[in-house]
Amino acid sequence: MSLNRRLAAWAPRLSLGLAVVLLLAVAALVGRVGSDARWLAAMGRLIATRGAIPAGIPFAADASSHWPNVPVLGELVFHWLEQGLGDRGLMLAQLLACATALAVLAADSLSGGAEAAGIGRALLLAGVSSIPALAIARSQLFSLFLFPALCWLLRADSRRPSNRIWLAVPLLALWSNLHGGALVGLAVLEGYLLVGRLRAQPVRAVLVGVAAAAAICATPALLGTVSYYWGVLGGQAPSSGQGLWAPLSLSSPLDVLFIVCAAVLLVQFWRARPSRWEQLVSVGLTVLAVQAGRNGVWLVLFLVPAAARSFAPRRQWQLLAVPVALASVGILAFGLIRGPVLQGASPRLVARALSLAHGSPVLASSTIDEQVALAGGSIVVGDPIDAFPAREQVAYLDWLNGSRRALAALGGDVRVILVMRTGAARRTVAQDPAFALAGGDAQALLYARRGLPGVS
């Protein structure tokens, strides 16, 4: 066989591999550690040091002892990663999670009859639409590969029913100990059992459904797990649509990109004539994505295996494969060597803030609050926001939106405030005569109460 024929035969598989490497390269290039990440490492360190799970959030001043700690295993994993390699460890774990997710999606798609070329295009659409979810290390990195793994299991059982459906039970138990995304997985499983299995195998469907719901509570909090999930979903951030819970918006370029790519995947998904349970799940995930942009990643990950089947074969551009592959590998290597892009305050500024605070709690905006906790300091309130009473949640979110009244309520006794340079919280603190600028870096500013040593 000539070289050209060999290249033509391998072109679809090469295009699939190229799509995976390209997505990982982009994720490494813009990779960073985001909010909702470092607090897990801080909690994990406390648990590892004390040998026990503390009540509430020990590094926060406001009351939180009522909070049931569910993702303990996730906290310990984040602690081990952060302890060993710092933020680079979280970045590497994020890239590993992305690579695993893409590999699982490719295997699921091939099992369903999709061709490699179609899978590559579907993965590119899903990856481009969800760059923040792939590139920013957050607690959901565990869900990035566990969600497609569960969907692969359900699709395999749909094609050939067997006792392997019971694997969903321990998978959900593990997942619930790592990240709250297990609740989405439980909803997908129950939808599959209701529509895809209840009529043909009612006893098995009911037993698996009940066992899966119980598995969600197989955490250190036991029945308190229900309260934990209720607090997450019913917290002030989801209710008000703030932060990571903000709904899709046409004013956001990233949201517009997601909408376009997700729309293409949805069209291809429905062209593939998915099963009824897949149709039901796709509708539910679409509603979740519209309500909160952070849920969009689950929609596109679910759509990939079916959508890949309906992409029409196209000519492979072998001439572009080599330069794109080399560029992708180079970008990936550069991102790994450089490490994650700094987001938040520099370690020096955090250390300065803790020195001025002298053991008192620091009022810090999102992301920085977790840095303070990880550095061994105390915060007034912050992530995990759902661990605090509703009144404190509202006050903190209002302060981030620029409320002077909220600043007065939260900062009445604080000595130090750390805020991002951009945002309403900085403007509010800058206008407060009780605080003076005491330092700063490229992304954050430090304000200290007037009258402290070294503060004019």
DSSP 8-class letter at 343:
-
pLDDT digits (tens, 9 = 90+) for 26-40: 999 999 998 888 999
Q: How confident is the model at residue 117 (pLDDT cuts 50, 70, 90)?
A: confident
What's the pLDDT band for 270 if we cut at 50, 70, 90? very high
**Position 382 confidence tier, pLDDT thresholds 50, 70, 90:** confident
Give the pLDDT band (50/70/90) at residue 248: confident
Task: Count CB atoms within 10 A of the CB of residue 439.
Answer: 19
Q: What does the pLDDT read at residue 242?
A: 75
Q: Which residue has the tokens 């929609």?
A: 299
pLDDT for 5: 54
Find all residues with CB under 8 Å of 68, minimum gap 6, and list them.
221, 224, 225, 227, 228
Residue 318's pLDDT band, with cuts at 50, 70 and 90, is low
**pLDDT over threshold 50, residue 1:** no
pLDDT above 80 for 329: yes
Highest mean pLDDT among 181-185, 243-247, 428-432: 181-185
Residue 65 reports pLDDT greater than 90: no
- Mean per-residue pLDDT, 259-279: 95
User: Can you give the pLDDT at residue 3?
Assistant: 43
Nearest to 343 by CA among 24, 1, 35: 35
Instruction: Flag whether pLDDT at 119 surpasses 80.
Output: yes
User: Exposed, middle or buried, 346 (CB in 10 Å: 0-12/13-18/19+)?
Assistant: middle
Share of the chain above pLDDT 90, in %: 56
Predicted confidence (pLDDT) per residue in 383-439, tens digit: 888 888 888 888 899 999 988 888 888 877 889 999 999 888 899 999 988 899 988
How many other C-beta atoms lie within 10 A of the C-beta of residue 5?
Answer: 9
- Whole-number pLDDT of residue 286: 95
Taking CA atoms, 342 is separated from 34, 81, 91, 334, 346, in Å, by 9, 17, 11, 15, 8
Peptide bond preceding 384: is omega within 30 degrees of 0, i.e. cis? Answer: yes
What local confidence, expressed as pLDDT, does residue 7 receive?
Answer: 46
Of 353, 352, 346, the closest CA to residue 367 belongs to: 346
Looking at the chain, the whole-number percentage of residues with pLDDT higher than 70 is: 94
HSE at residue 294, side-chain half, CA atoms within 13 A, is 20
What is the per-residue pLDDT for 17?
81
| Domain ranges across the chain | 3-30+68-309, 347-449
Between CA 173 and CA 100 the distance in angstroms is: 20
Average pLDDT along the chain: 89
Decide if pLDDT at 10 tops 70: no
DSSP summary character for residue 201: -
